[in-house]
Structure 1
Amino acid sequence: MPQTVFAPWDDPNEKPLIRFQNVTKRFGDFTAIDDISLDIYTREFFALLGPSGCGKTTLMRMLAGFETPTEGTILLSGQDIAPVPPNKRAVNMMFQSYALFPHLSVWENIAFGLKREGKDKGTIETRVAEMLKLTRLEKFKHRKPHQISGGQRQRVALARSLAKAPKLLLLDEPLGALDRKLREETQFELMDIQEKTGTTFVIVTHDQEEAMTVASRVAVMDEGKLMQVATPDRIYETPNSVYVADFIGDVNIFEGRAHQTGDKVQMIWADGQPPLSCTTSKNFSLDQKCWLAIRPEKIAISAERPQAANTVRGKVIDIAYLGNISTYHVALPSGQMIKAQAANTRRIERRTFTWEDEVWLSWTDTAGVLLDR
């Protein structure tokens, strides 16, 4: 059977679980959130991504009930949540510090919220057992937090957050304290747990790789505004602005003026250099300022001039060897530095290009994205 694609945001009949309607949040004269409207759907793993101070944590704190909007409304399952206190919302939050009780065992930490709610002993035992199994912590249930690893503590915090079966789980930089390898493993565990429980997850992160790995959709934020909300592949392949292109992954940006015929644009970009050729669905006026964003892996590097829609000549200034790929930093006659990537299929000592080599960079007219802002 063909697998159905999960994309409730494309279905006009689907009702969002969370709806931000023209939400603004001010602290004194400072606007932390600036007129944001956003829908998040049931079972989504939604990422709020942006640099420090962009407003992503404020947005999450409003969902949790620790902050209230200055203007606008936030709906959860169609209900305005402003009057509902944090402990009465079907929302749970997992903090970066995990905030575990050091004197309680793993089992007691997970059971804590259920006991507070006055659940009976049998219900608590069944639910904690489910959570221990889900997070693969059964054999650590009698240990205290200081007797287990950082990754295991992270899973205890997750199990405790999910024990009360919230409709929505908020994760604030949840993997920040883990080392890289463990963080990558834990990302896949989180995705697995989210899928098994069907809980809607909203994660705040400044780590673009993390957002691109775990999320069904990503909201890229800057200075309290939503810059783009889309699936990770759309954000990477078709960013809507130079800011988003530049924030996600490595990118080369050429600035120039547009000369358009149909869906083809010739971009005038440097004195004495032939124009760059691009294909676009946008309309540009004559001589309109524009930017071509192109990823390093879409640029080929060669010793001889190739037959291609776009070719520029330059000199290799730097090489970053990353095991499976090498990134070449190539200086163009205009002074601009361009990154091109090549897979390392051969041993490093048999590398085709080295420092100071003159090389040709080339790409197709559909390899980049032409942007107007």
Structure 2
Amino acid sequence: MAQASQPEEFAPWEDPSAKPLISFKNVTKRFGEFTAIDDLNIDIFEKEFFALLGPSGCGKTTLMRMLAGFESPTEGTILLDGQNIAPIPPNKRAVNMMFQSYALFPHLTVAENIAFGLKRSPMPKDEVADRVNEMLRLTRLEKFGKRKPHQISGGQRQRVALARSLAKAPKLLLLDEPLGALDKKLRQDTQFELMDIQEKTGTTFVIVTHDQEEAMTVASRVAVMDHGKLIQVATPDRIYETPNSVYVADFIGDVNIIEGNAKPHSDGKHEVHWAEGEPPLVGPSNDKITDGMRVSFAIRPEKVSISAERPAADANVISGTVLDIAYLGNLSTYHVQLASGHVIKAQTANNRRIARRSFTWDDTVWLSFTDTAGIILTE
């Protein structure tokens, strides 16, 4: 029986010969005394779904506004397809921007909203209707072309704004918190629609969001920002599994962070001595670590096993008392207080419909994890 071929991995950032669509070269942006973007360098490739992620005020929207042409760099160069875009006005760039508010015209129908930009472009008039119908099909809005924006749902309005943004076939589409106005369930559904549309059109998408889950779901790569600097740029799995700093580990998902002093261990790993009377924690690191160095041990709660009996197998085993339990439907999070006063979170999947909890408040439990489950960080 013939095997289905695997989809080719998309990773142009790992190909030295790949030419980026967008290049930021030593870009700084100041507003008076305030530095919003600080000497930033980054390449974004064609067909990427690239996410800029960070807290409010980290510089991600400024970065996007410079791409769109609403702001100019104070220093440095931004290249689009090898061309310096600084002298090119926003309306002449092969870039479109979709705002959180959608900015639809209430007096125009869905089809007229999509056609608005096309009618002001050099596109021949007889081709506009065909392009509008193509966009309606792409965003699954064929039945709603004659309705006004107030006659459709929030998710459908979001798709109208997306169709209008893609109608002129830009090389680059910028999305500023595009799903912010939607409720959680609709947001999740729409994330997959966005990915599907991006894949079908082959347009490069750059999305600005402070929602980690959204960035991790849609993006081929995520750039985590703080105070105008890029802290880490990597694929979602690498950002989650091998963060390069405590800031990234703490910003993405849930994590336990334990500070201590490093000592060499076997197999290239290190021990973290963190509390009197507690066994050292063993784990790997991607950083250069010296003996006695102050470090942080980061481990995700789902990688920590919880049991009533002391496990024999795992390299890291510690004991504590159940302080709190959070039931989240699909999983439960146990907050376990150790003799040192540290609180460690452990998660278990609730894979049976009705199950009596194995542990409850004030129970003594054992926490364990392998010597590769966590990561030792120096920053």
**Equivalent residue number for residue 288 of structure 1:** 293
**Equivalent residue number for residue 328 of structure 2:** 322
What is the rounded CA distance, in whole Å, between the counterparts of 1:62 and 1:186 in structure 2? 27
Q: Show structure 2 runs of 5+ residues with no match.
A: none
What is the rounded CA distance, in whole Å, between the counterparts of 2:353 and 2:364 in structure 1? 21
**Equivalent residue number for residue 277 of structure 1:** 282
Residue 322 (structure 1) shift? 1.3
Residue 283 (structure 1) shift? 2.9
What amino acid does structure 1 have at the position aligned with 2:274?
Answer: W
Contact between 2:285 and 2:377, CA under 8 Å: does it hold in 1? no
What is the rounded CA distance, in whole Å, between the counterparts of 2:273 and 2:80 in structure 1? 49
Q: Would you say how many aligned residue pairs link Structure 1 and Structure 2? A: 373
What is the rounded CA distance, in whole Å, between the counterparts of 1:194 and 1:345 in structure 2? 34
Contact between 2:96 and 2:170, CA under 8 Å: does it hold in 1? yes
- Report whether the alignment pairs 1:303 with 2:308: yes
Aligned to 1:119, the other structure's residue is in SS state coil
Contact between 2:265 and 2:282, CA under 8 Å: does it hold in 1? no
What is the rounded CA distance, in whole Å, between the counterparts of 1:261 and 1:168 in structure 2? 48
**Equivalent residue number for residue 260 of structure 2:** 256
What is the rounded CA distance, in whole Å, between the counterparts of 1:281 and 1:144 in structure 2? 55
What is the rounded CA distance, in whole Å, between the counterparts of 1:329 and 1:356 in structure 2? 11
**Equivalent residue number for residue 312 of structure 1:** 318
What is the rounded CA distance, in whole Å, between the counterparts of 2:205 and 2:326 in structure 1? 36
What is the rounded CA distance, in whole Å, between the counterparts of 2:123 and 2:246 in structure 1? 52
Residue 118 (structure 1) shift? 4.2
What is the rounded CA distance, in whole Å, between the counterparts of 2:334 and 2:234 in structure 1? 30
Aligned pairs (5 A) from 1:169-318: 169-261=173-265, 263-307=268-312, 308-318=314-324
* 1:212-268 deviation line (CA, Å, top 9, x unaligned): 000000000001000000000000000000000000000000100000145121111
What is the rounded CA distance, in whole Å, between the counterparts of 2:94 and 2:269 in structure 1? 51
Aligned with residue 371 of structure 1, among 357, 374, 377: 377
Residue 284 (structure 1) shift? 1.1
Residue 2 (structure 1) shift? 2.9
Q: Show structure 1 runs of 5+ residues with no match.
A: none
Residue 21 (structure 1) shift? 0.2
What is the rounded CA distance, in whole Å, between the counterparts of 1:98 and 1:185 in structure 2? 18
What is the rounded CA distance, in whole Å, between the counterparts of 2:291 and 2:134 in structure 1? 63
What amino acid does structure 1 have at the position aligned with 2:343?
Answer: M
What is the rounded CA distance, in whole Å, between the counterparts of 1:301 and 1:174 in structure 2? 39
Aligned to 2:63, the other structure's residue is in SS state helix
Aligned to 1:340, the other structure's residue is in SS state strand
What amino acid does structure 2 have at the position aligned with 1:362?
Answer: S
- Distance change >3 Å, CA 281–CA 19, structure 1 → 2: closer
Aligned to 2:169, the other structure's residue is in SS state coil
What amino acid does structure 2 have at the position aligned with 1:283?
Answer: K
Identity among equivalent pairs (%): 75
**Equivalent residue number for residue 359 of structure 1:** 365
- Report whether the alignment pairs 1:338 with 2:344: yes
Give the structure-2-normalised TM-score. 0.97
**Equivalent residue number for residue 45 of structure 2:** 41
Aligned with residue 79 of structure 1, among 66, 78, 83: 83
Residue 274 (structure 1) shift? 1.5
What is the rounded CA distance, in whole Å, between the counterparts of 1:342 and 1:303 in structure 2? 13
Residue 121 (structure 1) shift? 2.0
What is the rounded CA distance, in whole Å, between the counterparts of 2:354 and 2:257 in structure 1? 29
Give the structure-1-normalised TM-score. 0.98
CA RMSD of aligned residues (A): 1.0
What amino acid does structure 1 have at the position aligned with 2:273?
Answer: I
| 32-41 vs 346-355, greater mean Cα deviation | 346-355
Residue 344 (structure 1) shift? 1.3
What is the rounded CA distance, in whole Å, between the counterparts of 2:196 and 2:82 in structure 1? 28
Aligned to 2:323, the other structure's residue is in SS state strand
* 1:132-184 deviation line (CA, Å, top 9, x unaligned): 00001111101111111000000000000000000000000000000001000
What amino acid does structure 1 have at the position aligned with 2:294?
Answer: K
What is the rounded CA distance, in whole Å, between the counterparts of 1:305 and 1:183 in structure 2? 42
What amino acid does structure 1 have at the position aligned with 2:276?
Answer: D
What is the rounded CA distance, in whole Å, between the counterparts of 1:224 and 1:140 in structure 2? 42
